[in-house]
Amino acid sequence: MRRLQIIDGLRGLSLIGILIANMLIFQYGMFGKDSIASFQLTAFDMPAYVWVKIFVESSFMPIFCFYLVILLFY
């Protein structure tokens, strides 16, 4: 079976993104991921949180799911 290197590269990139997204849970617990307002964030933490929500959770996770669909039907 021949592997597509571009798909493997996207998978690796999306796995890094998923790790970054899960760091919110590691730092703030299970409920901190969605209800971040209950924590006192510094001036650096809030823009980082918004960046993770916009670029990581809405970009890398769909790429990872797309890879799984390709893997199942290829």
Total count of residues recorded for the chain: 74
Q: Is the pLDDT of residue 46 over 70?
A: yes
**pTM for the structure as a whole:** 0.56
Least Cα distance to 69 among 2, 6, 11, 1 occurs for: 11
CB neighbours (10 Å) of residue 47?
11
Give pLDDT tens digits for 7-44. 788 778 778 877 887 887 777 777 666 677 777 878 88
